[in-house]
């Protein structure tokens, strides 16, 4: 069977291989998964995903973003957030080639769920070691989280503004050093420098 005799909606990573009947079914299932995601039909997408990850021909680790998207959507958002964090931690262990990308997604997830202190804790854990120390995006995230945490908190007894602003400045400067074209880090670095002169 040649791939020319079949029409598929979405590109599949190993599309150039000769297609057997099983591979045609897998490709069609992949189309159902992608189409369901585009239509926001998560129930059908989860069913397709559950079958695909059991097929030995499918490298589900390389599709980790799809798995993260499909986790959750229950009424209990705390359980969903916990499940996603567990998924990201597992993927960092099982798919070391994508550890930087997985960590970026994890940090973004924590920021979206307003877990700023935990996001900073995770960043401070990973940033000193390679390959994370050379990732400008992670340094920019750390700078933004430090900047957020530098805001005055009426519930806190002691102000932590000076230290957090200094940390934010260091992270933004490191991001600029790693990627000279990072306009976001450059803009925030300049803004923090101006802000720090007030304290």
**Residue 134 located in a structural domain:** yes
Domain extent at residue 183: 115-199
**Residue 52 located in a structural domain:** no
Please give the DSSP secondary-structure letter assigned to residue 138: H
Mind giving me the DSSP string for 8-36? -SS--TTTTSPP-HHHHHHHHHHHHHHHH
**Residue 75 located in a structural domain:** no
Q: What is the structure's pLDDT at 57? A: 86
CATH of the domain at 164: 1.25.40
The structure's pTM equals: 0.75
Count the Cβ atoms, other than its own, within 10 Å of residue 57: 12
CB 136 within 8 A of CB 185: yes
Q: What is the structure's pLDDT at 1? A: 43
Q: What is the structure's pLDDT at 3? A: 45
**Residue 170 located in a structural domain:** yes
CB 106 within 8 A of CB 122: yes
Looking at the structure of the chain, the number of domains it has is 1
**Residue 110 located in a structural domain:** no
Q: What is the structure's pLDDT at 107? A: 94
Q: What is the structure's pLDDT at 2? A: 46
**Residue 44 located in a structural domain:** no
**Residue 164 located in a structural domain:** yes
**Residue 178 located in a structural domain:** yes
Q: What is the structure's pLDDT at 72? A: 62
Pull the structure tokens for residue 80: 């969903």
pLDDT tens-digit profile, the chain (199 residues): 444 455 656 565 555 556 678 888 888 898 899 999 999 888 899 999 999 999 888 888 888 888 888 886 544 566 677 888 888 988 988 888 889 999 999 999 999 888 999 999 999 999 999 989 999 999 999 999 998 988 876 565 455 555 688 899 999 999 999 998 989 888 888 888 887 776 5
Unique residue bearing structure tokens 């390959």? 131
């Amino acid at each position: 069977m040649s791939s020319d005799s079949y029409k598929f909606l979405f590109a599949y990573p190993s599309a150039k291989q000769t297609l057997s009947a099983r591979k045609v079914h897998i490709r069609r299932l992949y189309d159902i998964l992608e189409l369901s995601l585009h239509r926001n039909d998560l129930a059908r997408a989860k069913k397709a995903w559950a079958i695909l990850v059991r097929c030995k021909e499918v490298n589900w680790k390389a599709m980790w973003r799809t798995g993260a998207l499909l986790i959750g959507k229950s009424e209990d958002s705390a359980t969903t957030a916990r499940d996603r964090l567990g998924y990201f931690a597992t993927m960092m262990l099982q798919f070391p080639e994508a550890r930087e990308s997985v960590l970026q997604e994890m940090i973004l997830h924590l920021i979206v769920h307003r877990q700023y202190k935990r996001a900073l804790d995770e960043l401070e854990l990973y940033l000193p070691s390679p390959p994370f120390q050379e990732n400008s995006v992670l340094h920019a995230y750390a700078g933004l989280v430090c900047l957020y945490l530098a805001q005055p908190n009426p519930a806190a007894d002691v102000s932590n503004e000076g230290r957090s602003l200094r940390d934010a400045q260091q992270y933004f400067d490191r991001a600029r050093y790693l990627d000279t074209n990072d306009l976001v880090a450059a803009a925030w670095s300049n803004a923090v420098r101006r802000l720090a002169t007030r304290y």
